Chains A and B, each alone.
Chain A
Amino acid sequence: MATIVHAVLGYLFLLLSVRVLSRRPGGQMTLYEFVIVFLLGGIIILATVGQDRSMTNCITAILAVAFMHWAFSWFKAHFPKFGAIVDGTPLVLIEDGVWQPEVMHGKRIDPEDIMAAARSKGINSIFDVKYAVLERTGGISIIKRDS
């Protein structure tokens, strides 16, 4: 019982912590963000498993986390507002060639992050970017300006 409670609480707390970290690890992972992801995961395991390192306890913890993940996916699919809370919404970083400073500062995205995404599309100048959208996955989508 304690394992399930710890696993559920750990899942919820990790989700909250990662969600409020502003920069979203996943799509734009730098080495700095890898540290956060692995460290947070490693720490929560200590409380979830505790002193009981049996297969039974580990499998119970895995099942609890898997169930939480499935439940959240179900709620996200059926309640879009829930999805917005858990994943956020896409945000426009460059709109028709104009920086959106409120979003850039709020999400702590640097122009260098946008150019990294642009380069992967074969774009080598910021002036060729018409729209840049920060996706829910953390990736940045680039729409090129028609020449």
Chain B
Amino acid sequence: MGKVEFSSPVIDSVPKVNQEVAVGEDLEFQRKWWAFEKVVWTFFGVVLLLTMLGAFGRGWLAHAQKKSPDGALTLKYDRIQRTGTPSDFTFQFGPEAVRNRQIRLFMSESVISKLGAQRISPQPAQSVLGDGGITYSFPVQGQAASVVVSVQPSGPGSFPFRVGLPDSGSSIQSKVIVVP
């Protein structure tokens, strides 16, 4: 290693305590920092509380239920979801929903692609593309049970969607907010 030349003399720049010990303490800054810490911890507490309540998904505030005007279709879902986290859309049907021993359920394209529909239980007998979405057909025997669509959003955003029963004209429009 070459010889290092230090051309400037050392200066006593670090503030001292009692003119004795060079510490560099800044108590004024530290007091401001403690005040800032209180604000941060209050903010963290509020965030935790809101999270427990479901304001960021997976909780009471996130759960939602919507019914079509004629009561033929009821949808239970999470209006606030999290990126990459599974969630369910649960559809329940009234007797008016059954036509020719089948239920046809329309879901807009946003449910399939943006909200990332992964699985439909039970499996539909038929899927038809069109009208900005997909119409699924489920054969029915006796009283209709529910259909569950599992979704897993791939990114954050606000995603309006529409679901409905093409045969009766019932529909539900809403939106899901996906947090990062």
Contacts and interface: CB of A to CB of B under 8 A. Distances in A.
Q: Is this pair of chains taken from one and the same complex?
A: yes
Interface of A: 2, 16, 20, 22, 50-51, 84-85, 88-92, 95-96, 102-103, 106, 131, 133, 143
A106 B30 contact: yes
A92 B25 contact: yes
B26 interface: yes
Contacts of A50: 84
Contacts of B41: 20
Contacts of B36: 20
Given A22-B37, A89-B24, A89-B25, A95 B18 contact: yes
A95 B20 CA distance: 10
Contact of B40 (A16, A85, A106): A16
Nearest to B34: A106
Interface of B: 17-18, 20-21, 23-27, 29-30, 33-34, 36-37, 40-41, 84, 155
A12 to B, nearest CB: 13
Interface of A is mostly: mixed
Contacts of A102: 27
A50 B155 CA distance: 12
Nearest to A17: B44
B132 to A, nearest CB: 28
A91 B25 contact: yes
A20 B40 contact: yes
